A = this chain, B = another copy of it.
Amino acid sequence: MNNKPLILITNDDGYAAPGFNALINMVSEFARVVAVAPEIPQSGKSHAITMDHPLFIRKIRQDNNVTIYACSGTPTDCIKLAFDRLLQERPSLTLSGINHGSNSAISVIYSGTIGAAAEASYYGIPAIGLSLIDHNTEADLEATLHYSRKIILDVINRKDLPKPLCLNVNFPTLATDQIKGIKLCRQSRGVWIEEFEQHFDPKGREYYWLGGHFHDREDGDKTETDQWALENGYVSIVPVEMYDMTSYSTLELLKGIIK
């Protein structure tokens, strides 16, 4: 035991992902790390939990400052198991990532990375989801790590941050000296429009691959959004609320209509 802060790390690409391991290496310079990640990639798993199967945990590596486990479940399962079974003390911070691929705009809803971060925030611990907007797992992580370090140290060292805190941070695919800085944003409005690709198996049976493109529904000042920030060379930070899902405006409108 030493007096470095304890940081819990998970991801949704699985424990072998380069972004996850690069984040652990960087954070272990100034913190103790317990990391719990899925055995296999779990992209798009949202806030899913495993209810119908039991969960297995495997210790992957342990040294002075770093313990890594693989879990047979989802990213949210990893967080729940960490808090209930694996952590010996409360961490100072939870990180989820570094994800290989964007979690900007409405991708936040489908994202296992952000699902896990939101789950961690329910335990009263600040949580940060970190995503590089490049699906290539061999992408250069230098700029992402540079800015991740800055944001993580900011969140650890500031004592005046709002609680609960869950940040969705996305990084552009630029070199460190090309990034213009960090921008606090709101989520860009828009949805994914699906175009399933139809294929046929050797027996002639149809199957479908999820495809699609982002459909912009932005009706406000675009410069306030995460999409704009990323397209214009900034690191985007969107504070996320994924706890009380009540639409209070709709609730008011419905009073008197539904009785």
Contact = CB atoms under 8 A, between A and B. Distances in A.
A43 interface: yes
Contacts of A77: 210
A195 interface: yes
A94 to B, nearest CB: 15
A237 B257 CA distance: 12
B250 A110 contact: no
Interface of A: 41, 43-52, 54-57, 76-77, 80-81, 83-85, 106, 108-110, 112, 115, 118, 122, 151, 154, 158, 160-162, 165-166, 168, 181-182, 184, 186-187, 189, 191, 194-196, 198-199, 205-210, 237-251, 253-255, 257-259
A65 B223 CA distance: 48
Contacts of A81: 194, 196, 208
B255 A122 contact: no
Top 8 A-B pairs ranked by shortest CB distance? A241-B247, A239-B250, A46-B47, A46-B46, A54-B207, A44-B51, A186-B246, A44-B49
A89 to B, nearest CB: 17
Given A196-B81, A241-B246, A154 B258 contact: yes
A38 to B, nearest CB: 12
A108 B118 CA distance: 14
Contacts of A54: 199, 207-209
A158 B257 CA distance: 8
A165 B253 CA distance: 11
Contacts of A248: 186
A134 B245 CA distance: 22
A162 B45 contact: no
B56 A52 contact: no
Contacts of A249: 162
Contacts of A198: 85
Nearest to A123: B191
Nearest to A248: B186
